């Protein structure tokens, strides 16, 4: 029970962690990581019901754990990647002290950021789960690694859902505050979304934002 209590205490901190990307856009009362996780889990459930190849229990667990590493690792964004030096490998210290730039990163900058981000998040997950019973720790880590690899039907669903729920939140902030480059966000989403259900949902989002 001590390990379960620790998990609740640690992940409960995410209810106070504001999403870094929205803070960089000067959004007042930006959503928290916990709020984002809830919204994604709801979307995964609704969309997953329409698919025959989805293990719903696994998909929902994956949505719940996909960002819990942010208890111990930063919520890095593409703006952080855009600030990296292309000519040398990024270190953990570089990332921790980075000054984000509001522009699109190059492919090399994205790759460098993914490398260091992956290492930081792996370390964070190991720290978060280190005192758990073996079976719970192993299940959480296996599902989280599956999400990171993005190969299984569940991980593809959750990854695309993650992009869609971020887009939804961005468009919502655009309508409320006008601080988001919404056309750029929609264009980026179209580059990576290939699930038929999400493509249809994206079209609905576009219609609503144009009304």
Q: What's the average model confidence in pLDDT over 132-155?
A: 95
Distance CA 173, CA 178 (A): 7
pTM: predicted TM-score of the whole model, two decimal places: 0.90
Residue 75 scores a pLDDT above 70: yes
Whether residue 160 contacts residue 59, with contact meaning beta carbons closer than 8 Å, is answered with: no
- The pLDDT tens digits of the residues spanning 152-202 come to 999 999 999 999 999 999 999 998 888 778 888 888 899 999 999 999 999
Q: For the chain, which domains are there? A: 2-75+134-210 (1.10.3210.10)
DSSP string, 37-88: HHHHHHHHHHHHTT-TT--HHHHHHHHHHTTGGGGTS----HHHHTTS-TTS
Q: What letter does residue 32 receive in the DSSP assignment?
A: B
């Amino acid at each position: 029970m001590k390990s379960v209590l620790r998990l609740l205490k640690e992940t409960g901190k995410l209810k106070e962690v504001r999403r870094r990307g929205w803070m960089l856009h000067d959004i007042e009362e930006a959503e928290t990581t916990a709020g984002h996780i809830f919204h994604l889990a709801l979307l995964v459930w609704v969309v997953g019901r329409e698919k025959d190849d989805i293990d719903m229990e696994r998909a929902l667990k994956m949505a719940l754990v996909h960002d819990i590493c942010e208890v111990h690792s930063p919520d890095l964004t593409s703006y952080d990647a855009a600030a990296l030096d292309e000519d040398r490998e990024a270190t953990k210290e570089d990332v921790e002290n980075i000054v984000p730039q509001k522009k699109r990163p190059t492919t090399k900058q994205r790759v460098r950021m993914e490398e260091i981000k992956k290492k930081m998040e792996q370390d964070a997950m190991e720290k978060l789960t280190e005192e758990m019973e073996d079976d719970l720790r192993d299940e959480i880590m296996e599902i989280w690694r599956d999400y990171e690899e993005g190969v299984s039907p569940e991980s593809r669903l959750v990854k695309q859902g993650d992009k869609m729920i971020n887009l939804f939140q961005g468009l919502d902030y655009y309508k409320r505050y006008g601080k988001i480059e919404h056309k750029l966000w929609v264009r980026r989403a179209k580059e990576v979304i290939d699930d038929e259900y999400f493509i249809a949902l994206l079209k609905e989002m576009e219609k609503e934002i144009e009304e």
